Structure 1
Amino acid sequence: MQQVKHLLEGKGKAVYAVAPDASVYEAIQQMAEKNVGALVVIKGSELVGIVSERDYARKVILKDRSSRDTPVAEIMTASVITVASDATVDECMRLCTDGRLRHLPVLDGTRLVGVVSIGDLVKAVISEQRETINQLESYITS
């Protein structure tokens, strides 16, 4: 089973982040520019949360708050579930499914080294299944 560090090698290790005191508007603007659904929230060099489009919809729009006046810290998820870079795709899929998560920050020790999304994980599973099917077809026809 493929490990998260292999996924990051393939997709790149770019991490898009926002400060907790930035406005929600700035965060949403950055998500749109980077075409991502979530940003990690970093204070100094420490991971302090994650903010997603879901947080925006539920905690700003539905509560009729101003995205320009609301700091990210007020809507972010502070209890972030993370994975180590040696975690398997299978373990990450289980975490995402059980926790209803779409994004998992990846740590190497205490250092943030990337973020994997449920889309990244699904692509990896499909790729692995395709490879298994090809091997089985090759075995059967030989």
Structure 2
Amino acid sequence: MRKVSHILDSKGRRVISVPQEAPVLEVIRLMAEHHIGAVLVMRGPELIGIATERDYARKVILQGRSSAETPVSTIMSSPVVCVSPEDSITACMELVTERRIRHLPVREGDAVVGLISIGDLVRMVIEEQQQEIQQLQQYIAS
């Protein structure tokens, strides 16, 4: 069974983060620049929240707030649901489905070592299924 560490090994462990006082406009620019849907909100090395495109739509746009003047701490989701590199892909799929979230920060102890998305999880499940199908086809053919 594949684990979160397998996703991080293939996609990398780069994490885009901002301090809690960063304006929402800066956060949205970072998301656009890096083609991502979420940014971690940090207080020094401590993970204190996550800001997503969904948070922006619901807590800035719909409430008529100013993107340039609103600090990200106002709209971030907190506490953050996290996983470890040793968690299974299946457990993560269940977690995002149950909690209705799309991004999972990955922690080893107190350190954030990556961020995975529902897209990363789906991609890994598809790869696993394709490998299993190939193995079964080879077994049947032999």
Three-state SS of the structure 2 residue aligned to 1:139 is helix
Q: TM-score under structure 2 normalisation?
A: 0.99
The amino acid that maps onto 1:65 is R
1:49 paired residue number: 49
Provide the aligned C-alpha RMSD in A: 0.5
Q: CA deviation at 1:63?
A: 0.6
Q: CA deviation at 1:6?
A: 1.3
Alpha-carbon distance in 2 for matches of 1:22, 1:41: 9
1:138 paired residue number: 138
The amino acid that maps onto 1:62 is L
Gaps of 5+ in 2: none
1:85 paired residue number: 85
Q: CA deviation at 1:65?
A: 0.7
1:115 paired residue number: 115
Gaps of 5+ in 1: none
Q: Percent identity?
A: 51
Q: CA deviation at 1:78?
A: 1.2
1:125 aligns with 2:131: no
How many residues align structurally?
Answer: 142
Alpha-carbon distance in 1 for matches of 2:67, 2:45: 25
Three-state SS of the structure 2 residue aligned to 1:83 is coil
What per-residue deviation string (whole Å, max 9, x for no partner) do you get for residues 58-115 of structure 1?
0000011100010000000011000011001001000000001100000011110000
Q: TM-score under structure 1 normalisation?
A: 0.99
Q: CA deviation at 1:22?
A: 0.3
Alpha-carbon distance in 2 for matches of 1:118, 1:11: 13
The amino acid that maps onto 1:29 is R
The amino acid that maps onto 2:79 is S
2:105 paired residue number: 105
How do residues 13-28 of structure 1 correspond to structure 2 at under 5 angstroms? 13-28=13-28
Q: CA deviation at 1:131?
A: 0.3
1:67 paired residue number: 67
